[in-house]
Chains A and B, each alone.
Chain A
């Protein structure tokens, strides 16, 4: 099971807590594969993390994996085992809104 931490506005939209878990049966496990399952389980999130058509990450969101910025690593990069087995969460982070 992959654990995801989502920004608060998406948690409210999907009606979930701060963290959700998804069962990814595909191999290898990538960010794209995780988001595929997340959107299947929580259809309200379709189009809110990645664009409908291009499947590109939305510009104001970033992905963090084991304290590293994976926003530009690519959706098809293989996630580390600690993410795949749920020891560490995949973080979806929203840009800070200030000003």
Chain B
């Protein structure tokens, strides 16, 4: 029987949670790298036992960890993330120029075809790549230097490149998202990039339909429809069906279209999940009720899923990389909260249970389905 492994990054360490295919009983291992912030952990699709972890702290900056045995043991990888050439400036919160400064790795996206190749999305926003198993990292400078970089500015969480989606039919095509610059696409493996924000409307920027400046929170794709992407923006849930050339709003009947996470069912490319969050200042669920909303129509028509989730006095947040799905037949869905709970639904969102309740604040959740 297949097993499921969850890689959970938290404010104070990483955790590995495993279960059999029933996904009712879980073994919790960790904390790994106790005391450090683990922004993201992700396994290689080529070799699932190769797992990467982004480890950082205010005291000692960025460390990269690699496991080759499914998280049992770890080796320190290279952590030298240097911007290519003159770093230059972007906009600060008040619109003044601010030098580009590396702070941390937010997201690690292993290649779909090579276990030694990984992409890293960092703050201040840039994309790095290793092709030697993490020993060295080199910036893909075409993103930062394509022309709009000087106009990017940070969101409240920092100017982070937090989402990387690789087209499974053409690995040269990748989509990334930056808070608060927007979404971008490369068709040549990261050499050149273009903003893909047409159709986004952000009422909090001087030109609401500007080419860049949109606070995209997360993007997701189903592997069978690589031209269709779903986006949770600061406000609005969006979709594109032409690889980002045009976006349309699919918030529909959501009680609020603010939120951070968005993900797609493993086997139903038009079934998507979000967790609405009350507002951009309060950052907790509506009326103290934690609910996942599911659309089986690719957006616009949403239904709340709450069976097993707290329906009173719940004021946690679900951060942008903290939802994931497994590939079991009935598609398990998982998300972690800033209150330290990790919730699992083994049946596509109908029923939920807390796997663990008292971890440090959860920053990221990634599911692996293992044979």
Q: Write the nearest CB–CB distance from A62 to chain B, whole angstroms.
A: 11
- The residues in A between 41 and 97 inclusive whose CB is less than 8 angstroms from any CB of B are 43-44, 46-49, 51-53, 58, 60-61, 94-95
| Cα separation A71 to B315 with both chains bound (whole Å) | 42
Contact of A61 with B34 at beta-carbon distance under 8 Å, contacts A47-B80, A53-B82 already known = no
Contacting residues, chain B, for A51 (C-beta < 8 A): 61
B205 within 8 A of A: no
- Taking a contact as CB atoms under 8 Å apart, the answer to whether A52 and B59 are in contact is no
- Number of A interface residues, CB 8 Å? 20
B289 within 8 A of A: no
- Number of B interface residues, CB 8 Å? 15
Q: Give the residue of B36, B58, B76 whose beta carbon is less than 8 angstroms from that of A43.
A: B76
Contact of A49 with B34 at beta-carbon distance under 8 Å, contacts A13-B76, A43-B76 already known = no
- The residues in B between 176 and 198 inclusive whose CB is less than 8 angstroms from any CB of A are none
- Taking a contact as CB atoms under 8 Å apart, the answer to whether A44 and B63 are in contact is yes
- Taking a contact as CB atoms under 8 Å apart, the answer to whether B61 and A9 are in contact is no
Contacting residues, chain A, for B33 (C-beta < 8 A): 12
| Cα separation A53 to B59 with both chains bound (whole Å) | 17
B209 within 8 A of A: no
Q: Give the residue of A49, A52, A53 whose beta carbon is less than 8 angstroms from that of B60.
A: A49
Q: Write the nearest CB–CB distance from A8 to chain B, whole angstroms.
A: 8
- Taking a contact as CB atoms under 8 Å apart, the answer to whether B63 and A13 are in contact is yes
B79 within 8 A of A: yes
- The residues in B between 209 and 253 inclusive whose CB is less than 8 angstroms from any CB of A are none
Query: Interface centre among B35, B59, B62, by most A CB within 10 Å?
Result: B59
Residue-wise interface mask of B (280-304) relative to A, using a CB-CB cutoff of 8 A (1 in contact, 0 not) = 0000000000000000000000000
Contacting residues, chain A, for B35 (C-beta < 8 A): 8-9, 12
B49 within 8 A of A: no
Contact of A9 with B57 at beta-carbon distance under 8 Å, contacts A44-B63, A47-B62, A48-B63 already known = yes
**Residue in A closest to B34 when the chains form the complex, CB atoms:** A12
A10 within 8 A of B: yes
* Given A9-B59, A47-B62, A53-B82, 20 further pairs, Cβ under 8 A: A8-B35, A10-B60, A12-B33, A12-B34, A13-B63, A13-B76, A44-B63, A46-B80, A47-B61, A47-B63, A48-B60, A48-B61, A48-B63, A49-B60, A58-B59, A58-B61, A60-B59, A60-B60, A61-B60, A94-B59
Top 5 A-B pairs ranked by shortest CB distance?
Answer: A48-B60, A44-B76, A60-B59, A94-B59, A52-B80
